[in-house]
Amino acid sequence: MEVLPADQFTFEQLTDAYNQTRVDYLVPMPMNVARLREYAHVYDVNLPCSCVAVAGETMLGLGMLGLRDGRSWITRLGVLPSGRRKGTGNAIMTWLIDRSAQNGVDAVWLEVIKGNDPAHRLFRKYGFSETRDLIVARRPPGVDTGFQPSPIASITNLNHEDALILLAHRRQPANWLNQSESLQNVRNLSALQIEMANGGKGWVTYHAGLLQLTRILVEVIQGDPVEVTANLLYALHDRHKRQDAVTENLADDAVWQGFQAIGYFESFRRIEMIKPMKSSRGFLPRR
């Protein structure tokens, strides 16, 4: 077995290998070439620092590495059926951590789907520790939860640049998927900002596709988190009645309760894990 930089392979080869790693995965996540290209762009995946494990002409597994200021992120790690029980996962992890160290990061991040015990054990073996659970949730269109909105003093529609400004001033820690660096790489974000009659304030940012709302993030500025969140989302879905909605990596807190009040349900959970590096000057989740 040898481990090679991922930029020695085409996106078609990487996509095919990735899909083979997920044939019996806990949560199916099929990928196509266009989506993988977009994924690499949005999440700052560095292909020369990412890798593919091979034996001769046979691809055994792959792993990708996102790189940002002071931190890296291991993602899309998978082993093909032909590469299992051969040390492939260990070889990929060693490569990605070594490349992180060469880039002088303070910490390496990753997520593992809750219930994927073999991967969870592998990451703990390499010094990763759990930081929090993160929720992936959905809401189908037309859900009637019986929710009654509170009196609203004002609702303001905001554009892409306004949304980025709001995201840059978040008070809550963000995961790699919804950090400002990721969302700056997304086109056509929108936002709603509300002020309630009782003084509650908050905003929601999102991306409105033809069939689906994604990248839905809420920040409560003032007032009851459940009430403000539910009213924000009610206003959002009142404007986008026909779209399915998905939001990734929500913290399990009062804001999540507001999502539930408006009809969101949990699809699955990820466990965020972080490994401090020897050169660490201390690390915190970035906004």
The domain spans of the chain are 2-105, 137-269
In the structure encoding, which two tokens stand for residue 149, read together?
A: 């909105």
pLDDT reported for residue 69: 93
Residue 282 has pLDDT above 80, yes or no: no
Options 1.10.10, 3.40.630, 3.40.50, 3.90.550; CATH of 137-269: 3.40.630
In the structure encoding, which two tokens stand for residue 219, read together?
A: 């920040």
pLDDT reported for residue 243: 95
Residue 113 has pLDDT above 70, yes or no: yes
d(CA 250, CA 216): 9
Task: Please provide the average confidence, as pLDDT, over all residues in the chain.
Answer: 93
Question: CATH fold of 2-105, please?
Answer: Aminopeptidase (3.40.630)
**Whole-structure pTM over 0.75, yes or no?**
yes
pLDDT reported for residue 29: 74
d(CA 257, CA 229): 8
Q: Which residues have a Cβ under 8 Å from the Cβ of 112 and sit 6 or more positions away?
A: 119, 120, 123, 270, 271, 273
Q: What percent of the chain has pLDDT over 90?
A: 89
Q: Which residues have a Cβ under 8 Å from the Cβ of 156 and sit 6 or more positions away?
A: 192, 193, 194
Residue 261 has pLDDT above 70, yes or no: yes
- pLDDT of 128-163, one tens digit each? 999 999 999 999 998 989 999 999 999 999 999 999
Supply the angle between the helices 33-42 and 11-21 in degrees, to the nearest 10: 100
- Please report which confidence band the pLDDT of residue 279 belongs to, taking 50, 70 and 90 as the band edges: low
Q: Taking residues 87-110, what's their average pLDDT?
A: 96
- pLDDT of 92-102, one tens digit each? 999 999 999 99
